[in-house]
């Protein structure tokens, strides 16, 4: 076997987002030599999310998270709104129990990620920002990754073994590379792990952060202190394109955005900024933002394929975590990616730690990551919601249900001096006027119950 130079690091993590930082942090805590590379000038400077972080997982990694990390508000009020052109029907759930213990917080990534990277540095990780990794270095497998006398055998299936990364003219070598480089993951593609995603597995999120005085936010969203509201919107907000809108409260700003599926956006030939403008100007949305100042405008892709999108996440010498692995769940009511990034990072750090311990960083040696992930609550949830993406692709979800609900309620609330009818018969009439048929209600009800 050829002599291979002693690697520069035990592990190189590419991408200082949530997935990369948590992986690097936990490996450093195990006493490993870890390099964390980030292309942004500072960690977080390239990252964007809607902003609701389901925080239990990250609290386990950083016990002081809620007090020390730059979190915005603790979500105690969740609303789901079916938006129509001139009506809107919503579910409004506010619960003091959600504040204690805290279940979800809003975050802004350009503030959160530097905090996470700081934690990594404290734990001994070498953090290298401002460097773009251009490709993974591979060798023919099985290769010898000499570690003293012990054989680092490789018996994976790609025929290639990842041995490091290249950034500009620099080649850096490690026993394991972690691709934590987000939804576009050029690394996973480069290594042959991820083919081009079908468009129905991707959505684009367009978001503005709008500054408003704290007191205005608290009054407008019915909040006290650091409590926060998360509003999920479906229907007219996306002009009939599959997707939805959101409004999340930060301490002194509101995150407002739309997420639209790329297959539908391109098929309907809609201009994405028109959709966003339409949402911002909607008569039931604009009042939330009245008097606000735009602080920042951004966009980012969302992985929407659910379980189907997760392909190979382990190969000889490399694992893929977070968005790079396609780990996002859109259930229609919640977009989850950050908590899954945490869970996959914890599983990866465990799996990599075991592989390093056993001196086997081949695909077989690293497979503990996959097992740990699918045994975790996040992996279980990916399976539970496996049918959600297909269910949410039904066009009915985005238009007709909202109108039907509004028509039923209009029948109930509009007291126009004619004698009232029972709600059930109002509903029947509304259904008769809707393009929806009873069989849709029944089949969507059953499918929804199963998918969500």
Partner 1 sequence: MKPLSVPERLAKNRFNLDEEESHIEVNQEIARATGTGRAIVACCPAHVYAEEPDGTISVEYAACLECGTCLAVAAPGALKWHYPRGGFGVQFREG
By CB under 8 A, name the binding residues for partner 1.
39-42, 44-49, 108-113, 129-132, 167-168, 183-184, 186, 196-197, 199, 202, 204, 206, 208-210, 253, 262, 265-266, 269-273, 276-277, 280-281, 286, 289-301
Name the strand (E) or helix (H) holding 56.
helix 56-61
Q: What x-and-dash track marks residues 198-217 binding ligand FAD by CB under 6 A?
A: -------x-x----------
Residue 280 near ligand FAD by CB under 6 A: no
In angstroms, give the least distance from the CB of 18 to ligand FAD: 4
Which residue, among 322, 435, 336, 324, has the nearest Cα to 385 in the 3D structure? 336
Name the minimum Å distance from CB 160 to ligand FAD.
18
- For the chain, the C-alpha Rg in angstroms (whole number) is 24
Q: State the minimum distance, in angstroms, from the CB of residue 69 to partner 1.
A: 14
Q: Are strands 314-315 and 318-320 parallel, antiparallel or unpaired?
A: antiparallel
Smaller CB distance to ligand FAD: residue 163 or 340? 340
Binding mask 329-368 for ligand FAD (x = CB under 6 A): ------xxxxx-x---------------------------
Least spacing, CB of residue 112 vs partner 1, in Å: 8
CA distances from 57 to 115, 318, 339, 346 (A): 16, 24, 7, 9
Sign of CA dihedral 210, 212, 214, 215: negative
State the CB neighbour count (10 A cutoff) for residue 210.
22
Which region among 153-161, 212-220, 323-331, 383-391 touches ligand FAD (by CB under 6 A)? 323-331
Residue number with CB closer to partner 1 (110 or 177): 110
Q: Which does 271 bind (CB under 5 to 8 A by kind): ligand FAD, partner 1, none?
A: partner 1
φ/ψ of residue 95, rounded to 5: -155, 120
In sequence order, what DSSP letters do the residues of 285-349 get, joined into one string? THHHHTT-EEEEEEEEEEE--GGGG----EETTEEE-GGGGT--EE-SS-EE-HHHHHHHHHHHH
Per partner kind, with CB cut-offs from 5 to 8 A, the member of ligand FAD, partner 1, none near residue 273 is: partner 1
Could you say whether residue 135 binds ligand FAD (CB under 6 A)?
no
Distance CA 14, CA 37 (A): 5
Query: Bridge-partner residues for 243, per DSSP?
Result: 260
Distance, in Å, from the CA atom of 24 to the CA atom of 16, rounded to the nearest integer, reads 9
Are 362 and 371 spatial neighbours (Cβ–Cβ below 8 Å)? no
User: Closest approach of Cβ 63 to partner 1, in Å?
Assistant: 24
Taking contact as CB under 6 A, which single stretch among the options 51-59, 94-102, 143-151, 191-199 is the one that binds ligand FAD? 51-59
Q: Which does 351 bind (CB under 5 to 8 A by kind): partner 1, ligand FAD, none?
A: none
293 contact choice in ligand FAD, partner 1, none (CB below 5 to 8 Å, kind-dependent): partner 1
How far, CA to CA in Å, does 115 sit from each of 26, 107, 129, 218?
Answer: 15, 12, 14, 26
Q: Are 173 and 7 in contact (CB under 8 A)?
A: yes
* Interactions with ligand FAD, residue window 57-96 (CB under 6 A): none
| Residue in the block written with tokens 């590419």 | 14
Q: Which does 15 bind (CB under 5 to 8 A by kind): partner 1, ligand FAD, none?
A: ligand FAD
Q: What are the residues binding ligand FAD (CB under 6 A)?
A: 14-20, 37-40, 46-53, 132-133, 180-182, 186, 205, 207, 257, 259, 300, 302, 322-324, 328, 335-339, 341
């Amino acid at each position: 076997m050829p002599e291979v130079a002693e690697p520069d690091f035990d592990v190189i993590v590419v991408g200082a987002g949530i997935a990369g930082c948590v992986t690097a942090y936990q490996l450093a805590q195990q006493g490993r030599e870890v390099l964390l590379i980030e292309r942004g000038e500072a960690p977080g400077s390239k990252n964007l999310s809607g902003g609701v972080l389901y925080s239990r997982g990250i609290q386990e990694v950083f016990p002081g998270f809620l007090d020390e990390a730059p979190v915005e508000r603790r979500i105690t009020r969740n609303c789901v709104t079916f938006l129509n052109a001139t009506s809107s029907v919503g579910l409004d759930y506010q619960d003091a129990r959600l504040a204690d213990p805290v279940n979800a917080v809003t975050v802004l990534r350009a503030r959160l990620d530097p905090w996470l990277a700081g934690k990594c540095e404290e734990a001994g990780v070498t953090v290298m920002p401002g460097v773009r990794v251009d490709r993974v270095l591979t060798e023919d497998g099985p290769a010898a990754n000499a570690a003293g006398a012990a054989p680092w055998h490789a018996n994976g299936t790609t025929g290639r073994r990842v041995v490091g990364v290249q950034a500009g003219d620099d080649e850096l070598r490690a026993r394991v590379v972690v691709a934590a480089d987000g939804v576009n993951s050029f690394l996973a593609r480069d290594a042959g792990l991820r083919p081009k995603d079908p468009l129905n597995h991707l959505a684009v999120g367009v978001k503005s952060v709008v500054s408003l005085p704290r007191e205005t936010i608290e009054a407008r969203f019915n909040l006290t202190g650091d409590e926060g509201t998360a509003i999920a919107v479906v229907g007219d907000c996306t002009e009939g394109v599959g997707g939805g809108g959101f409004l999340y409260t930060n301490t002194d700003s509101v995150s407002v955005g739309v997420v639209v599926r790329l297959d539908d956006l391109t098929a309907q030939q809609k201009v994405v900024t028109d959709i966003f403008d339409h949402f911002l100007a909607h008569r039931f949305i604009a009042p939330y933002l009245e008097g606000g100042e735009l602080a920042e405008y951004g966009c980012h892709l969302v992985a929407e394929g659910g379980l189907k999108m997760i392909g190979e996440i382990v190969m000889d010498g490399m694992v893929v975590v977070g968005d790079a692995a396609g780990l996002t769940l859109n259930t229609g009511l919640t977009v989850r990616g950050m908590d899954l990034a945490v869970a996959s990072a914890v599983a990866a750090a465990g799996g990599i730690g075991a592989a390093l311990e056993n001196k086997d960083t081949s695909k077989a040696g690293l497979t503990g990551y996959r097992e740990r992930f699918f045994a975790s609550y996040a992996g279980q949830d990916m399976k539970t919601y496996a049918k959600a993406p297909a269910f949410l692709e039904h066009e009915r979800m985005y238009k007709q249900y909202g109108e039907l609900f509004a028509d039923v309620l209009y029948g109930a609330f509009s007291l126009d001096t004619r004698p009232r009818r029972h709600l059930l018969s109002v509903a029947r009439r509304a259904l008769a006027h809707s393009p929806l048929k009873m069989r849709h209600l029944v089949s969507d009800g059953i499918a929804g119950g199963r998918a969500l």
